[in-house]
Amino acid sequence: MTSVRAPLTVYGMSVSGNCHKVRMLLEHLGSRYEWVEVDSANGQTHTPGFLALNPNAKVPLVQRDDGRVLPESNAILFWLAEGTPYLSTDGWERAQTLRWMFFEQYSHEPCVAVARFIRGWTAIDSPRRAELPQLQARAAQALAVMERHLAQADWFSGRHYGIADIALFAYTDVAADGGVTLAPYPAVLAWLRRVRAQPGFVPMPPVSPQVQALLVQPA
Amino acid sequence: MTSVRAPLTVYGMSVSGNCHKVRMLLEHLGSRYEWVEVDSANGQTHTPGFLALNPNAKVPLVQRDDGRVLPESNAILFWLAEGTPYLSTDGWERAQTLRWMFFEQYSHEPCVAVARFIRGWTAIDSPRRAELPQLQARAAQALAVMERHLAQADWFSGRHYGIADIALFAYTDVAADGGVTLAPYPAVLAWLRRVRAQPGFVPMPPVSPQVQALLVQPA
């Protein structure tokens, strides 16, 4: 009997958008991988074992079969997508892809994802809930920038669906969890539908009942 | 008489670290470019003219001679560095380069750069100054991650100096402006010296006397 180890191990929290990006691409590619669930909302990225893999204490992180590791969701996407249809070979399209991936990490994730985290993963009386109105206002600005782009283009990755779309999809698709409404952004809603129609698309798994109970509270 | 237009126009604020990154690389490369000064600290990225170039209202932004534009400092670095010694051709080294550039934009710039902005570009009685202790604590965490990496490597871009080093250098070199001390990080200090010794290195220009007067106030 032979144990066949997958060539890639993904350390991630399944209901984190940053982690789901990696799963989305691996499923699009039909790649073989092992997923190791890490509950980053409850301290599991701060254990000595995990800090030895990533001193920055964040998931996702991928590990190759020779032990080498790579953190940062968008760096992982870029590395995995090289040579596949999900990353253009054209220099200018690659630059625009990176432009939207840096936009995602600087101007989108810190409001769209953090608002969701506060609503679903902090106590109902957490003082952090005072941050929500400002985070939701910043999320609206980021969505307006996306809406404007989508008025003149189908995708964020160039002429075709690709890793910038995956990066922006993950948290936009669950923006409502953070009390962020997508109704004012019809082009964003249409783009979300186009992403969901891609071959091999997998949705984010459901959150736990405890988290769901917090998310359904009035914003 | 012929007017020769530079092939690349950079819109930037010279004393912004994100903008200085672009100048650093262009000077390393000996490239010809036109620099258009944009005072983003005083609303110049929110004019209708600038918003038409970048709806996300940020500098730096580069414009090619055919009018096409690219924002996001680290996307600009990646695009400019392709095919030069400042970006490896090795896939894994490129992934690690991107990993540190995403670390810079998510875990470093939002504390190191924002602390500097608040100290130098907001009024001495601004309520935003209440954010400084938390920003300085997060900056210390980011610097500790860098220190740990530099205990086993000379650079952030792989085996050689490159764009991840440029991205991390820009605000680390002026971290003291934000009340962030580098004394506990000897490997970071040694790395800053190695960057300054690179051929074609240019330091950030001095800030205005008004900003300097704020920066010299006790933290």
**B64 φ, ψ (degrees, to nearest 5):** -80, 165
Domain annotation covers residue B86: no
Where a domain ends, among A32, A60, A81? A81
* CATH assignment of the domain containing A96: 1.20.1050.10
pLDDT attached to residue B179 = 97
ipTM of the complex: 0.97
- Contact criterion met (CB below 8 Å) for B62 and A93: no
Quote the CA–CA distance of B34 and B63 in Å, as a whole number.
10
Q: Do residues A96 and A200 both lie within one domain?
A: yes
* SS3 sequence of B183-195: CCCHHHHHHHHHH
pLDDT attached to residue B6 = 80
Quote the CA–CA distance of B157 and A48 in Å, as a whole number.
26
Q: Do residues A204 and A99 both lie within one domain?
A: yes
CB contacts, 8 Å: B72 with chain A: 98-99, 102-103, 106
Q: Do residues A41 and A101 both lie within one domain?
A: no
The pLDDT tens digits for B197-211 are: 999 999 999 999 999
Taking the CA of residue A192 and the nearest CA in chain B, the distance in Å comes to 21
Torsional sign, CA B7, B9, B14, B18? negative
Domain annotation covers residue A105: yes
Domain annotation covers residue B110: yes
Domain annotation covers residue B3: no
Q: Which of B45, B61, B105, B163 is the mutation pick for testing A, counting most A CBs within 10 A? A: B105
Q: What's chain A's Rg over C-alpha atoms?
A: 17
Domain annotation covers residue A25: yes
CB contacts, 8 Å: B95 with chain A: 70, 75-76, 78-79
Q: Do residues B114 and B75 both lie within one domain?
A: no
Percentage of chain B beyond pLDDT 70 is 98
Q: What is the pTM of this model?
A: 0.97
Nearest CA in chain A to B97: A75
Check residue B200 and give left, alpha or beta (phi > 0: left; psi -120 to 50: alpha): left
The pLDDT tens digits for B44-87 are: 999 999 999 999 999 999 999 999 999 999 999 999 999 999 99
Q: Do residues B105 and B51 both lie within one domain?
A: no
Torsional sign, CA A154, A159, A164, A166? positive
Quote the CA–CA distance of A139 and A142 in Å, as a whole number.
5
pLDDT attached to residue B121 = 97
CA distances from B94 to A12, A69, A178, B107 (A): 22, 13, 34, 19
Q: Looking at the complex, does the CB of residue B98 fall below 8 Å from at least one CB of chain A? A: yes
- Contact criterion met (CB below 8 Å) for B110 and A101: no
CB pairs under 8 A between A and B: 89
Q: Looking at the complex, does the CB of residue A75 fall below 8 Å from at least one CB of chain B? A: yes
pLDDT attached to residue A1 = 47
Where a domain ends, among A60, A81, A102? A81
CB contacts, 8 Å: A94 with chain B: 78-79
Do A103 and B144 count as a contact with CB atoms less than 8 A apart?
A: no
Q: Do residues A173 and A103 both lie within one domain?
A: yes
Q: Do residues B66 and B135 both lie within one domain?
A: no
CA-wise closest residue to A95 among B210, B82, B56 = B82
Q: What is the dihedral of CA A98, A76, B167, A146, to 10 degrees?
A: 30
Where a domain ends, among B47, B81, B115? B81
The residue range of the domain holding B46 is 8-81
Report DSSP letters for A126-164, one per residue: -GGGGGHHHHHHHHHHHHHHHHHHHTT-S-SSSSS--HH
CA angle A58, A63, A66 (to 5 degrees): 150
Domain annotation covers residue B141: yes
Instruction: List chain A residues with pLDDT less than 70.
Output: 1-4, 219
| Average pLDDT score over chain B | 96
State which amino acid sits at residue A2. Answer: T
Do B144 and A82 count as a contact with CB atoms less than 8 A apart?
A: no
CB contacts, 8 Å: B96 with chain A: 70, 75
Instruction: Measure CB to CB from residue B74 to each of A82, A102, A145 and give the nearest one.
Output: A102
Tokens matching residue B162: 């490159």
Q: Do residues A176 and A98 both lie within one domain?
A: yes
* CATH assignment of the domain containing B18: 3.40.30.10
DSSP state at residue B147: H
Do B95 and A105 count as a contact with CB atoms less than 8 A apart?
A: no
Do A55 and B144 count as a contact with CB atoms less than 8 A apart?
A: yes
Q: Looking at the complex, does the CB of residue A99 fall below 8 Å from at least one CB of chain B? A: yes
CA distances from B6 to A93, B9, B34, B63 (A): 22, 7, 6, 10
CB contacts, 8 Å: A146 with chain B: none
Q: Which of A8, A21, A102 is the mutation pick for testing B, counting most B CBs within 10 A? A: A102
Taking the CA of residue A124 and the nearest CA in chain B, the distance in Å comes to 23
Q: Do residues A12 and A74 both lie within one domain?
A: yes
Do B98 and A79 count as a contact with CB atoms less than 8 A apart?
A: yes
CB contacts, 8 Å: A66 with chain B: none
Taking the CA of residue B1 and the nearest CA in chain A, the distance in Å comes to 33
pLDDT attached to residue A218 = 82
Domain annotation covers residue B51: yes
- Contact criterion met (CB below 8 Å) for B84 and B152: no
- Contact criterion met (CB below 8 Å) for B215 and B119: yes
Do B56 and A95 count as a contact with CB atoms less than 8 A apart?
A: no
Q: Do residues A106 and A199 both lie within one domain?
A: yes
Q: Do residues B102 and B202 both lie within one domain?
A: yes
CB contacts, 8 Å: B73 with chain A: 102
Q: Do residues B51 and B142 both lie within one domain?
A: no
Domain annotation covers residue A71: yes
Task: Give how many domains chain A has, as a whole number.
Answer: 2
Tokens matching residue A48: 């000595």
The pLDDT tens digits for B135-190 are: 999 999 999 999 999 999 999 999 999 999 999 999 999 999 999 999 999 999 99
Do B55 and A98 count as a contact with CB atoms less than 8 A apart?
A: no
Residue A34, SS3?
strand
CB contacts, 8 Å: A76 with chain B: 95
The pLDDT tens digits for B112-134 are: 999 999 999 999 999 999 999 99
